[in-house]
Amino acid sequence: MNKRRPLLPLRDIIVFPHMVVPLFVGREKSIRALEEAMRAGKEILLSAQKRAKTNDPRPDDIFSVGTVGSIIQLLRLPDGTVKVLVEGKRRARIVKYLSMDPWFSVELEEILEPADVDSSLGALMDTVRATFELYVKLNKRIPPEILQSAAQIDDPARLADTIVAHLSLKLNDKQRILETADPKERLEKLRELMEAEIEILQVERKIRSRVKKQMERSQKDYYLNEQMQNMQKDLGGEKDEFKNEIEELEEKIRKKEMSDEAQARLEKELKKLKMMSPMSAEATVLRNYIDWVLSLPWKDKTEDNLDLARAEEILNDDHFGLDKPKERILEYLAVHKLVNKLRGPVLCMVGPPGVGKTSLARSIARSTGRKFVRLSLGGVRDEAEIRGHRRTYIGALPGKIIQSLKKAESNNPVFLLDEIDKMSMDFRGDPASALLEVLDPEQNEDFNDHYLDLDYDLSDVMFITTANNLSQIPIPLRDRMEIIEIPGYTEFEKKHIARRHLIKRQQEENGLADVKVEFSDAALKTIIQSYTREAGVRTLERQIASVLRKVATKAVRDGTSEKYDISARSVKKYLGPAKYRDDRVEETDQIGTTNGLAWTMYGGVLLTAEVMVMPGTGKLTITGKLGDVMQESAKAALTYVRSRAMNLGLAPDFYQKIDLHVHFPEGAQPKDGPSAGITIVTSLVSALCRIAVRRDVAMTGEITLRGRVLPIGGLKEKILAAHRAGIKTVIVPADNVKDLRDVPRAVRRALKIVPVSDVDEVLKSALALEDPDAFHQRLTETILPPDVLMLPPPTLSDDEDDDDSRSSSGDRPTLPQ
């Protein structure tokens, strides 16, 4: 009679009758099947899955023959799984599946054992016991106590089930034994399987015995390699293929041009490789090492293009401006033409983002006829990224320098080390220190990578590095490079670049190559001034692309390819409201308000300084998100004004009765630097003396306590910002006059540039005075302060003893009233 039982699918295990085994159950459906079995007599059908990886088995995924088991113990674990101890009782076959949710419920038919046992099975049972005894002796994983248990079993069916449970057989082989109902047939199949396993174990024992004899004259590694070789003799390995590979490597080493050190090292490593098994881990490491050394371009070089005219034409076609780096490359080619052996230069191009440093390096490679390879150093903080790992580490590789040279397939490429100022360091080392050898022309001919452990000549490589901030580069590394500063582009240069490169490129990328699109000068000026604020041209290109996408949309809708004229008005229509406001001067001269000039990474800007005077107690307030240097400049400016109070017509103690507030508008923007010193002084004098400052004057310069004006940086960008804002007169330090040659001639002609060496000259040119000469003369006069500030040094009276005056505080001299 058929019975109904819950079903528990098993993975990678088959439970036989009379077998007690613990099971860990985690699937929800299986846990519910156990719960149902506990409620209905504790019996459950245990049947194995055909594939263990199947998480949600269907009836076709489960063997039809299993074992009815009895649950001895069930324990719920904290992680939600269940540990169950079951004992196999009897074989059963699944007749049909009654339900599959929420658990498997099946109708089963029990497979009965034959009632009468053939008397001839006694001899077969003895044979099976003897075979099992031999198997246990060869397989050390089975405890010998099992032999005693097997010897006491008289039932042939139980003997077969007990023995097969302890054999290391495949799942399908065990399932065939389970599905065999006849005890005699079951014992015969079991004997065949054990004999096959015994034959394999004997072969392994024979190999171990053969290798053990040779181990006496060698070490442990040699023993392991010989074991593999003997296995290959029995199994027919890949000896011929390995031999061919060795011969191929020998041929490559013979033909490859490399240094003598590398040649000797490869021959030594290849000799080691011949003695190894091809399947060993050490052989794989050696093969990789030899492949890496052979793949490097030791003496493979490209021929430099020494045609200066052609090189200059390529550089000018690709980039507008950037005269200094172009000039340096042409100098290198000219000297290389005169000198046969020339070390590759190490150039460092420093400038704000988007000015073309990386693309210029590509143009340099094209103009010199060399291969180009780029390595980004941004975020690199491991020294091994530069010099590689030693071969003792698993998965070791050469550093990025050697890997890049392999990629370039040339020993004299243009090698760009991008963002060299973005490196950092941690416990794994300092990559900047590792670059010292790479970028030193006196050392890099013997660069030693940890993985190769060979000297590699980098002296022919033209290294070009890029950085945004020179101060972030360590001084020893900076000392090894030739610094070329690339300033931001002027408005005129941006217009030229847009017409020459950006518009054409964006037309092609937006499908408008065959459509006539014309940007007016006013349109480009509007985009540059109102929609970008940068030193480079990346945002400018994005805004041009945005305009062209609008044009493309209009062209597709209209179905025409007519000419499109982009004006300033259409730019505002396409791009929306302006994102940035122009720097504008005041409409009238203001008291306490002065136009200063500042340099940012986006170029020059107009920076207004405001000073307000209020009744108070001498408090100085400085606002506008200013850095420490700028705050110190404000304090120095106030000290200077106090020292010249008499010349300015102020009372000596004027500062004790007022509070001063110095403010720089646009307070959300950080500001710092000493160049606002004369700007603050001018605003302070204007506010205290109630004299307006000329609205068409802008200035820049650092001050000292004595009123001297010191030179500053970024003069070109600052003067361009003044010209853009409509300023007529620019006051600059006299020591910066030499930098005016970098300013475009048209800008110099449009501005009146006043060089100054002290604050008196600044005030003469900046304040709206009726008689500037008389004011300047008053400033330069020597006006003595009250006598209280000119006290004579303290002296002792004639009748006082010097020693007593030093020892007694009560006898110290007093200042005259």
**Reduced to 3 states, what is the DSSP secondary structure of residue 110?**
strand
Name the pairing type of β-strands 372-376 and 564-566.
unpaired
Q: Given CA atoms 537, 542, 547, 549 in this order, what sign does their dihedral have?
A: positive
Please measure the distance between the N-terminal and C-terminal CA atoms of the chain and give it in whole angstroms. Answer: 132
Q: Quick check: is 675 catalytic?
A: yes
* Distance separating alpha carbons of residues 526 and 796, to the nearest angstrom: 76
Q: Quick check: is 376 catalytic?
A: no
* Distance separating alpha carbons of residues 753 and 740, to the nearest angstrom: 9
**Reduced to 3 states, what is the DSSP secondary structure of residue 572?**
helix
* Distance separating alpha carbons of residues 372 and 362, to the nearest angstrom: 7
The one-letter amino acid code at 295 reads S
Considering only CA atoms, which of 83, 91, 84 is closest in space to residue 108?
91
- Look up tokens 């009895």; give the residue: 70
* Distance separating alpha carbons of residues 691 and 771, to the nearest angstrom: 12
* Distance separating alpha carbons of residues 326 and 476, to the nearest angstrom: 26
Helical H segments across 462-502, by residue range: 475-479, 491-497
Three-class SS of 695-758? CCEEECCEECCCCEEECCCCHHHHHHHHHHCCCCEEEEEHHHHHHHHHCCHHHHHHCEEEEECE
- What contacts 268, CB < 8 A, 6 or more positions away? none
Greatest distance between any 2 Cα atoms in the chain:
146
CA 50 to chain centre: 47
* 102 preceded by a cis bond (ω within 30 of 0): yes
Helical H segments across 420-567, by residue range: 431-438, 475-479, 491-497, 503-509, 521-530, 538-558
Catalytic residue among 357, 494, 718, 764: 718
Q: Are 5 and 43 in contact (CB under 8 A)?
A: yes
The one-letter amino acid code at 16 reads F
* Distance separating alpha carbons of residues 23 and 280, to the nearest angstrom: 38
Q: What is the DSSP string of 22-81?
A: EEEE--HHHHHHHHHHHHTTSEEEEEEBSSTT-SS--GGGB-SEEEEEEEEEEEE-TTS-
DSSP state of 518: E
Catalytic residue among 675, 683, 686, 765: 675
Residue 20 is inside which H or E element, if any? strand 20-25
- What contacts 87, CB < 8 A, 6 or more positions away? 18, 19, 20, 69, 70, 72
Considering only CA atoms, which of 443, 330, 454 is closest in space to residue 390?
454
Considering only CA atoms, which of 351, 368, 360, 469 is closest in space to residue 421?
469
257-259-261 Cα angle (round to 5): 135
Active site residues: 675, 718
